[in-house]
Homo-oligomer: A and B are copies of this chain.
Amino acid sequence: VNFASDNAYGAMPEILASLARAGEGAARSYGDDETTARLRKRLSEIFEHEVFVYPVITGTAANALALATLAPPHGAIFCHAESHIAVDECGAPEFFTHGAKLVPLEGEHGKISPQAIEHALAHFQKGFVHHAQPAAISLTQASERGTVYARDELGAIADVARKHDLKLHVDGARFANALVSLKASPADLTWRAGVNVLSFGATKNGALGAEAVIFFHRQDVADFEYRRKKSGHLLSKMRFVSAQLDAYLEDGRWLKAASHANALARKLGEDLAKIPGAELASPVQANAVFARLPNQTIARLRKAGAVFYDWSPPAGGKTLIRLVLSFATSEEAVDRFIAAARG
């Protein structure tokens, strides 16, 4: 039972199969190929809008490239204090932006609020050269705490962005999980709400290594293509990344995989909540469960072979752990985990 991360698992068979097809014959390199063109078309249909699509191979690259395109070196980017860009990318956004400043904001359940952004903005004087200049907001959908921004929550943040002339970035490493959780359309959670650029993840949900930076307006693309090349993220045989994304999207495969993982998370959360001494730390809205378990329960689980991360150090006899369910997790694994937790 491995609930360490959704990147602990391999890839969907259909995605693997797509690679062989993509490699047939000679093709133009660096993304001028037919597979990439097909992907672009498919995404425009899915998003009901012309989109500008750039496949890359990691979420960190997608985020850092997107943010560097939105924010100048003297810019400030507002994000959750626990967000991947703030905590888990070794300062990639600072590197790619050439020294922009991430402004970490507190917020319950991994989400930032419009109020927190407004409060932080009050400390930045526009046009004052001593201050980094507010340039962008980045939020994570689904969040690092397995929660989602409902449409009105997203809209309220987009209002702040519009009011202060900030760009809006969404880290969608688990975008599919948010989508099926919210029963919303891709358009509703992005450009219709005011999102400028989306880091669209597929790796965690069944690809080998495939993400796409998706811009919704041509002018936002700016010098993105030079940044991608200059950072070594333009693959010569791009079609092999595009093929992953294309197979991922085909036949609603991405949504089915996310629904599966979300459903297991919901079940795991519900079952876990019934265990004496256990409590959910955040609502289960995507494919992760954050729970506080008694330390002896945790010890028992680990002894039984369960793999997962502590999210904070033990406190008061309990520890906050993170359990991530994936496209490849079986219901039986959840049952075994619960059984082991019950002891």
Residues of chain A having any CB pair with chain B under 8 Å: 2, 4-5, 7-11, 13, 16, 19-20, 22-30, 56-62, 64-65, 72-74, 87-92, 94-102, 104, 122-123, 129-133, 203-204, 208-209, 223, 225-237, 240-241, 307, 313
Q: Which of B57, B88, B230, B313 contacts A92 (CB 8 A)?
A: B230
Q: How many copies does the complex hold?
A: 4
Asked whether B95 lies within 8 Å of A230 as measured between CB atoms, the reply is yes
Asked whether B209 lies within 8 Å of A240 as measured between CB atoms, the reply is yes
Asked whether B235 lies within 8 Å of A57 as measured between CB atoms, the reply is yes
Asked whether A95 lies within 8 Å of B122 as measured between CB atoms, the reply is no
Query: A204 — which chain B residues lie within 8 A by C-beta?
Result: 236
Asked whether B7 lies within 8 Å of A236 as measured between CB atoms, the reply is yes
Asked whether A26 lies within 8 Å of B9 as measured between CB atoms, the reply is yes
Query: A61 — which chain B residues lie within 8 A by C-beta?
Result: 231-233
List 16 A-B residue pairs with CB atoms under 8 Å apart, sorted by A's residue number. Answer: A5-B29, A7-B236, A10-B25, A16-B19, A19-B208, A56-B232, A57-B209, A72-B223, A73-B227, A73-B230, A74-B226, A89-B229, A91-B100, A91-B230, A92-B231, A92-B232
Query: A225 — which chain B residues lie within 8 A by C-beta?
Result: 129
